[in-house]
Each structure stands twice: as C-alpha cells, then as structure tokens.
Amino acid sequence: MQPSKFMSVFRKLFGVLLAALLLGGALKVGGDLGNDPAIEGSLKPEKVHREAAEEIVERLELHYRRLKFDDALSAQVLEQYLQDLDPNRLYFTQQDVDDFQPYRDQLDNQLRDGVLEAGYSIFNRFQSRLEDRLTEILAILEGGFQDWDFDGDGKVLVDRSEADWAEDQDALDAIWRGQLRNAVLSMRLNGTSDEEISKRLINRYESQLSRVRQNTPEDVFQTYMNALAQTFDPHTNYFTPHNSENFDISMSRSLEGIGAVLQYEDGYTKVVRLVPGGPAAKQGQLSPADRVVAVAQGDEDMVNVIGMRLDEVVDKIRGPKGSKVRLEVIPAGRASEHDTRTIAITRNKVVLEEQAAKKEVIEVDHGGDTLKLGIIEIPAFYMDFNAFHRGDPDYTSTTRDVAELLVELRKENVDGLVVDLRNNGGGSLLEVNKLVSLFINRGPTVQVREAGGRVSVENDQYPGMLYSGPLAVLVNRYSASASEIFAGAMQDYGRALIVGDQTYGKGTVQTLLDLNHGKLKMTNAKFYRVSGSSNQNMGIVPDVTMPSLVDKESIGESSLPNALPWDEIDPAKYQRYQDLVPLLPGLRERHDARIGDNPEFVYVNQLRDLLNRANERQELSLNAKQRKAWQEDFDQRRLDIENALRKHRGEEPIEKMEDLRALEEQRALDPDSNDEPLDEDPYLRETGHILADMVSLLREQRVADERAS
C-alpha cells in the first residue's frame, strides 16, 4: 500500500476509534455543578466560570430581545459557536459537526445550570484539529512549493462560510491544498519572491500554532460566552476581567495608540471605526472593515496576529506617544487574505480638541449666482463629563462649540448651512439632544424604547432657534448612533435636507453590567425617531443620495449577524416646519443631471462598479495564466479610471499599477498630502448646489401658493 493511502486509511480508522472513545461520555448532558459530564480534551472550566455562566444567562433573559432559553436558542448558539470557531469551514469535518448535533437542543439546559461541557468539548476538538492542520501546513511549506503546477483548471471558493463541511479529512486535505496554492499564486502575482512567500507563510502559521498552544480555560470561556451573547445581537458582548475595562476596546480613551475601535471577527482583528482626530484617521490609509493580520513595532519584524485574542492585539498596537507601529492589513473587500498592504502610523493621544466642531465658509457658483455657504464639521458628539459634573461653567461640549460657530456664521451672512456629519460615529446622547435644540423651537428630539416596552421621549427644553435658515446635513455610511439621531430629527421636522449615503443603522442602546467574573455589555433599549421610525438596521435614508465607494454589504448594521430589525412605534407629538417631500423629485433630477458628467463622481461610480465586479467573484482560478490575465485586465481598468480623474485635475497620468501602489504608499507615509481644501470637496460643493436648488424650489412653491390663493 502506498504511504499516502496508508495514512488515509489509518486516519479514518483512528478518527472512528477516537470518536468512540471520547464521545461515549462527552455528549451526555445534564448534571449539576459538582457532577459535570465528561469533557473531551484537556481544557476544562473552573468553578468561577460555571458561576459566571449562570449569572450571564440570568442577565441575558432581560435582553431587549427577550429570547427564551429553549431548544431553538440552543440550536442558534451551537451554530454561532461553530461559526466563531471555524468561520471558513477549514478545520471541522462533517463528521465532527455530526458528533456535535446531540448538543443542538441541550445547550440551553446546560448553560442555565452552569454546565460548560459542550463549550469546552467542542473547543478542545477544534484546538486538536487546528494544531494538526497547522503542523501539516508547515511541513508542506518546509518541503517547498517551487515545483507546484499552476496550469490546471483548479479553483478555490472566495467565501467558504456557506460551503458544505468537508466530508472527511481527505476532502479537507484537498481544500487546504487549494488554499495554499491560492496563497502562493496571489503573492506571486503581487510581485513577491518565492523566498519571501515562504518566509511570510511559515511565519504566519508558526505564529498561529504558537498562539493556539497558549489557549487557557479563560479563553475558551470568553469564546463560548460571546457565542451565546452574539446570538442575541452583535452589540452584546462578554468581557473577561482582563479586558473588561476596555468597553468596546476603544483606543481613544486615556491610552495612547492609533485611535481605532477594533473587534474580533472570524479569527481576525477588524477595524470597526476610526476615532475622529486620531492618528489613524489623520493618516488616512486605515479604513473600517480592514482586517489586521500582523503588527510590527517600528522597523522590527511583523508579528502575526491571526487568531490572537483581541486584547493581546490591542496591547501590541498601543504604545507611547511618538512611536511608530506598522500594520499589515487586508483592505476591506479584498478577495484574497494574502492581498495585503502595510500601513505605518505614528502613535499619539487623541485629545478632545481634535474632535472639536470646526467651521469654514466656501463660495459655490450656482447658475451664475454665488452662494456663500457655511460649513460646520462635527467629527463626534463630545462632552467633558468630568468638568460638567464638577459644575464648571466652561465645560467643553459639542453644542456649546456649535452655538459659537453659528453666531460667527450669522455675522458673515451665509446663504445656507451644511452640517457635515460624515464619519461621525456618535457619542453623547445629551449633546445630540441639545444640538437639535439649536435648530428647532421646542419639541421632542428622540424616543427611547426599553426592553419592557416603556417609551420615554427626550425633549428640547430651550425656546427659540439659533439658526433658522436653509440647512443640509451631509452624512455617509460611517455616520452612526448620535449622528443618526440628529439627522433623523432634522428630516422628520422638515428642518433640513439629508444628503449623502445611507447611514450605518446603529439604533440600539447598551449598558455595561458587572458580573462576579468580568462584565457583560448588553443591549437594553432602542432609539426611535420622533416620527416613530427606528434608526436601527435601516439607518437614515438620504433625501438626495451621493455616489459612494463604501460597500454597504460589508459595512453597517445590516451587514452584522443577528442585528435587531427595523421597526416602528407610535410617533411623538411634533410639528413639522415645512414639507420638503414634494421638492425631492425635482431636487434629485437636478442633482443627477449635475453629477452625471462630473469627473469626481464619475470616478467614484466607475471605481465602485469595478470593485463590485471583483467582489462578486465566487471562485478564484488556480491557473496562473487565467489569473494573470484577469489581474492585468483589472489593473488596466483601475488605471484608466484613475487617469481619467488625474486628467481632469491636470495631473500626469500613471502608466503602471506598480506606480499607483507606490503613490498610495507615499500617501501613507505623508498623511498631510491627503488633506484638501474644503472648497474643493466635491461632496460639499454638490451639497451647496442642492441647498440652492431647495431655496429656489421653495420660492417657486410660495409664489405658486400665493397666486392660487
């Protein structure tokens, strides 16, 4: 018998024997704290974990969703846990998954009783599969790949999250051969030498293997409890005592870092959002939905962080002010995990002043008339709570700053105002309510529905409006939470036109609960607009939509698993200032005519279409000629789109994709080169045109109404 066939038969027989020995007692359920079922593997829970599990279950029964701990929930938790452990279905086989099926209707009972046998047995099986697989991969890579054949018709799936589980280890071996071949081919096509490919892949898998072998019972507990929490909604999370101080692991607080909010997803550290005024936002190259695969201090070698705990990755990214950190990231939307780029960021503190509201006045030529447009940019809804609670009359706040800016703009006799909330991820609820009060004359600002159904209404207590003129609110997909409350209120009152892209859709409220072991962040309420419509999931739909490069399939609340749905409640009592809805068809028609041949927006639309076509690929060819031909065609289309815009701007064309990548790297090293004057921002200028159209249409409407009367 050939060695490969012998190993195949041996592995199958050993797998059956191992399952019979280990699962004979492992899949029994029930028992109390002193008599847990047998756990497969070496990692086992401690008493404190069992007690914490019971407490977490008690707290989750008060979650906004009020899900019952029954067999249906048990099945969802099992699916979520398997998804969290093996999102791309590269380690478990169908036989493994079949072995776990007796748990499908038992996890609710186990968790309620503080029994963690299922979570630990499944994790131990996963760890064993992962260690074996990584060891095999390293052996293959050590043997070299220079003689691999890339002439066949093989293919690999881009996304394996919905693929069938491999039938057995032989089938999984075949999948992994494709994965490794794809990694080598992807890196070769990017111009990486075989020597460097070998070095990088071996380093990646050695680091991952080393990290896996350091897993502790605490790691298992955190992973299992988060599978349970995430079944309720994506913003409900469990934090161990080690990282419970990091609410959402935000590096924008008192710690020095890069100013990014991160989360763990499918083995990767994913960028959720950038903190306004932070080093990463200023540098301009890191984006939400990018995945960090390696971190380096200064000019040192990269350390692979795939599979590493989030708090460990955050510790590596944080560092003293003035020091440099390099991140190897998979940019958002890239099909291959080996298509990476390196970003260098100098660490610094994010100070409140960097997030402060700013103003500027620009002039827009509209049909021969010059429009004087006031711009107020609000990066975040901030408030110095410490100074506020001390009674300091000069405490820093968004509303106080914006009020001062409005007074200054009024003296400059602006014809209209744009409140720029692009990339504003939210902040203080108190501040957004007060900000709404500057633009309405008393009335409700937002409704909050608690888990039990009670609805409370936040109101503007201040009479009068500080600004009553023409108003537009500019938003994008990264405008979230408090930004959506403000934009929704302005839209409901008919007080402003909302312009830009559909917003993030974060319309839930969380509270941080202390546990006997760690903390639980749990969703306990939902925001609703004064019209009764929820901000959740749908976000704010603009009155006039702008082209955007953001892929809404991968960014936003609607892209998150188990996100709470959009719904409605009864409207609050409020009075609209004007009905802008009848004007929208005319505004959109004029807008579309203007941007149809505007090179800035043509560039965005064409590049988005190109990226969409790339992202829609379900398979990647492992044939080097076919893959190279596709890449060359993509690169040429990318260059054509780029050069059309450069021609419009009076810049020299770029001849090769390598030159474009070099230019992007240069921009990464020189963040200040990314800054452009506000009066050259095409989105602000077009918003000015839309605002001028609104004023014109309102004037025509008033004249028509007067004639009719």
Catalytic residues: 481, 492, 506
Report the C-alpha gap between 343 and 669 in whole angstroms.
8
- For residue 299, give the H/E element and its range: none
Taking the C-alpha atoms of residue 133 and residue 14, their distance in angstroms, rounded to an integer, is 16
Determine if residue 403 is left, alpha or beta; phi over 0 gives left, psi from -120 to 50 gives alpha, anything else beta: alpha
Beta-sheet pairing, 519-528 with 341-346: unpaired
For residue 28, give the DSSP letter: -
**What angle do the packed helices 682-708 and 584-595 form, to 10 degrees?**
140
**CB–CB of 347/323 below 8 Å?**
yes
DSSP label at residue 545: E
Of the candidates 420, 554, 413, the one whose C-alpha atom is nearest the C-alpha of residue 498 is: 420
The span from the first CA to the last CA of the chain, in angstroms, equals 99
Of 22, 614, 536, 668, the C-alpha closest to 339 is 614
Amino acid identity at 687: T
Q: Cα 564 to chain center, whole Å?
A: 16
Q: How many of the other CB atoms lie within 10 Å of CB of 142?
A: 9
Q: Measuring CA to CA, which residue among 502, 483, 484, 487 is closest to residue 550?
A: 502
Cα(326)–Cα(345) distance, integer angstroms: 6
Q: Please enumerate in sequence order all residues whose Cβ is within 8 A of that of 481, keeping only pairs 6 or more positions apart, or say none.
A: 425, 426, 427, 504, 506, 507
What does the longest C-alpha to C-alpha distance in the chain come to? 99
Q: Which residues contact 342 (CB under 8 A, 6 or more apart)?
A: 326, 327, 328, 329
Burial 181-216 (b: 16+ CB within 10 A, else e): bbbbbbbbbeebeeeebbebbeebbebbbebbeebe
Q: Tell me how far CA of residue 36 lies from CA of 28, 105, 110, 217, in angstroms.
A: 9, 17, 9, 15
Q: How far apart are CA 569 and CA 572, in angstroms?
A: 9
Q: Which two tokens stand for residue 693?
A: 């159209």
